[in-house]
Chains A and B, each alone.
Chain A
């Protein structure tokens, strides 16, 4: 019993570490697109996906630290990412984020 619990813990540690390395590589590649991207829309999409990767990173770190306190943070990152992406998209398309009168 004791052996199987420690074996599961090692398994979770190893797979979380592998997941963190994978997400970090993905963020590196996305950073290349965010810096090099030919158009502004490329940079906006790259920043959006970097945010999604950061959500994944927070989730994996919550597993690694055995804590439930990160759940609010993950939801918070998602909401702020959504609002930021919408603001960026409106700015790229219309040049103004909060319009005075829309119709």
Chain B
């Protein structure tokens, strides 16, 4: 059997994975005022990662992305709980959120909310859970 040649898939992946990651970051930041948010942004990032795993194989991507997805779940959960516990520092109830207007260098006057940090926790947790499930299922075959 001749070995399959994946040139078109690999070239397309190297272009499209960037678009997917950019779209995921856009959905993550757009979640405050438009459809989107941490959950669907995390799913999009996981889709980009799955596309890369499909095009290049498990071992090659493991060398490039040295992230343990189990630790990513813990990091996300700690960030999400930490934004809730952080409200105690200001004598506020658990999970109280606040926002303010800041003058940023490029963006100009921007509204920054602490809900974004909670969303970041959701984002990391969703990526970690999705990639853990998919890679655990993909990895179960013994080396032949």
Contacts and interface: CB of A to CB of B under 8 A. Distances in A.
Interface of A: 69, 72-73, 75-76, 79-80, 82-83, 86-87, 90, 93-94, 96-103
B8 to A, nearest CB: 11
Given A82-B16, A86-B9, A100-B141, 16 more contacts: A69-B35, A72-B30, A72-B36, A79-B20, A83-B51, A94-B4, A97-B54, A97-B138, A99-B58, A100-B58, A101-B58, A102-B6, A102-B56, A102-B57, A102-B60, A103-B57
Contacts of B56: 102
Nearest to B47: A83
Contact of A86 (B20, B30, B34, B51): B51
A93 to B, nearest CB: 7
Given A86-B54, A102-B60, A76 B20 contact: no
B29 interface: no
B138 A76 contact: no
A72 B53 CA distance: 25
Contacts of A102: 6, 56-57, 60
B58 A98 contact: yes
15 contacts: A72-B30, A72-B34, A72-B36, A79-B20, A80-B47, A82-B16, A86-B54, A87-B54, A98-B53, A98-B135, A98-B138, A101-B57, A101-B60, A102-B56, A102-B60
A73 B35 contact: yes
A82 to B, nearest CB: 7
Contacts of A103: 57
Contacts of A94: 4
Contacts of A97: 54, 138
For the complex of A and B, list the 8 residue pairs with the smallest distance between their C-beta atoms, beginning with the closest.
A102-B57, A98-B138, A99-B57, A100-B58, A101-B59, A98-B53, A72-B35, A83-B47
